[in-house]
Amino acid sequence: MENQERAQKLFSAVQPSGAITIGNYIGAIRNFVKLQGEYDCIYAVADLHAITVRQDPAALRRNTLELMALFIACGIDPEKSVLFVQSHVPAHCELTWVLNTITYPGELSRMTQFKDKSARHADNVNMGLMDYPVLMVSDILLYQAALVPVGEDQKQHLELTRDLAIRFNNRYGATFTVPEPYILKDSGARVMSLADPSRKMSKSDENPNAFVTMSDDKDTIIRKFKRAVTDSDSVVRYAPEEKPGISNLLTIYHAFTGKSLAESERDFAGKGYGDFKLAVGEVVADALAPIRAEQARLLADKEYLRSVMKAGSESAARMARRTLSKVYRKVGFYSGE
């Protein structure tokens, strides 16, 4: 117990905005599992974030349960880590309101993700999409997280988190832990689209051949890798600038086999792209098969999933409430107790 109290806190989340991709897995979820032994981990299904782009309500509900099951199937242990659904803990929205009052519109309008998503969803550029980073800041600061494992695309949001934590602490006195991002050093922090290796693999891509999801079956996975865009040369070599498609496939191969990039290149010396793509597909399909099976088993046991969500949101709410009360006191809200 004493040890547990001393361990640093770690927070991260994934949006249930579609089928989870191997990019989310390599860049984020896999690291969530690895870090469980070293930190007190808190992981959320970020449904409040997901509605910043239009979601079909039935699909959102299904994706939320599926993501919960996937977290557990990937190895997040609800006995060790706190696992919950963001909308079940009201403090996330409450802290967002307070932090909005110390955030400047310019800080949000220049965010790369806001610009990208506004361009992609030009018919639905809403205030939530713009405020998305402040909600993310609240997620992190509520738990006094010291470390936040994310993919490269979230780096800017982590910088805002640090800025707002420091700004609040300066204005009102020490309140928040200023967190550090945990971003992989290698290319796994940014897995690229199979259809266009200049763009990141994204679960909301309109082209389903651009990504491999954690629930794709073996045939689908192999077909998608076979179609992956590469260059016209035929040497399997890691050179992200020159050969972005092949380098991305090498990254994926490396992530699923644990072999270094150099070793992975050696595995395919003298072989053509056809053999290489097939091998990547097989390695990925074989690694995902047991995760898919475990996810399906968990999804058949809704009672268990519900009990995990309930216990998780109760623990999360308790921790979050402690920080929120402190914030309310610091900003001068009259105590209702």
| 3-class DSSP state of 44 | strand
Q: Which is nearer to ligand LTN, 140 or 192 (CB)?
A: 140
The binding track of 106-145 with respect to ligand LTN, each residue x by CB under 6 A or -, is ------------------------------x--xx-----
Q: Which of 144, 126, 36 is nearest to 82 (CA)?
A: 36
Q: Which is nearer to ligand LTN, 181 or 261 (CB)?
A: 181
What the block records as the tokens of 91 is 């403090």
The binding track of 264-293 with respect to ligand LTN, each residue x by CB under 6 A or -, is ------------------------------
What the block records as the tokens of 47 is 């449904």
Residue 191, binding choice from ligand LTN, ligand ATP, none, Cβ under 5 to 8 Å by partner class: ligand ATP
Q: Which of 173, 130, 180 is nearest to 159 (CA)?
A: 180
Catalytic positions: 117, 200, 203
Inter-residue contact 28 to 149 (CB < 8 Å): yes
Say which residues have a Cβ less than 8 Å from residue 100's Cβ, sequence separation at least 6.
131, 134
Helix (H) or strand (E) holding 309: helix 302-331
Inter-residue contact 203 to 24 (CB < 8 Å): yes
The binding track of 8-27 with respect to ligand LTN, each residue x by CB under 6 A or -, is ---xxxxx------------
Q: How many residues does the chain have?
A: 337
Q: Which is nearer to ligand ATP, 203 or 292 (CB)?
A: 203
Residues numbered 132-161 forming contacts with ligand ATP, rule: CB under 6 A = 150-151, 153-154
Amino acid identity of residue 190, one-letter, is: R
- Indicate whether 68 belongs to the interface with ligand ATP (CB under 6 A): no
- Indicate whether 23 belongs to the interface with ligand ATP (CB under 6 A): yes
What the block records as the tokens of 172 is 């009102």
Helix (H) or strand (E) holding 172: helix 155-172
Q: Which is nearer to ligand ATP, 98 or 249 (CB)?
A: 249
* Contacts to ligand LTN by CB under 6 A: 11-15, 46, 49, 136, 139-140, 148, 150, 154
> Which spans of this chain sit near ligand ATP (rule: CB under 6 A)?
14-15, 17-18, 21, 23-24, 26-28, 150-151, 153-154, 189-191, 200-204
